[in-house]
Amino acid sequence: SDLHTSNWDFFVAIGVRTFLNETIHFVGKKELFTPLTSWFFKGLGGMPLNRKKNENVVEAITRMYGEEAVFRMAIAPEGTRKKVDEWKTGFYYISKIAGVPIISVTLNFKDRSTRVSKPYYPTNNMEEDFKKLKLFFRGVKGKVEQFS
């Protein structure tokens, strides 16, 4: 997958979110939210995630959905900016457990376009769900070309 390939994705996504006029959150390591930076990250919709607790990330993020009146979260399915062959599954399980849909958004640096999908509720067949979700990203290129 060469979708999330650059730190620029974050800034472009903030711009898209502003254009859409939607509240969209993201999570970051608790260590990023220092007294000097917390106001900045929280102002952009950031939520600190304490990864040192015994709670796993899926459970922690799912809990956030129940604690906020409005909570929409952006997650890169690759979970990294490095070249990956498979998506991580956390976003999928968060969607299922919290009962919230997956809405895919493209940041296509090839033609400088953005698309937003219709809400998709996962079924009980992750393999088929991933096939359907990945179709939406066909032809999309990240800022940095990733090669095998």
Please say whether the dihedral angle defined by the alpha carbons of residues 100, 112, 141 and 132, taken in this order, is positive or negative. positive
Identify the residue whose tokens are 């999570």: 27
pLDDT tier, 2 (very low <50, low <70, confident <90, very high otherwise): very low
pTM for the complete prediction?
0.71
Res 3 pLDDT > 50: yes
**62-88 mean pLDDT:** 71
129 contacts 92 by C-beta, under 8 angstroms: yes
DSSP category for residue 111: T
Task: Report angle CA 59, 67, 94 to the nearest 5 degrees.
Answer: 30
Euclidean distance between CA atoms 128 and 145, whole angstroms: 27
Q: What is the pLDDT of residues 104-143, one digit of tens each?
A: 887 777 787 778 889 999 999 999 999 999 898 888 777 6
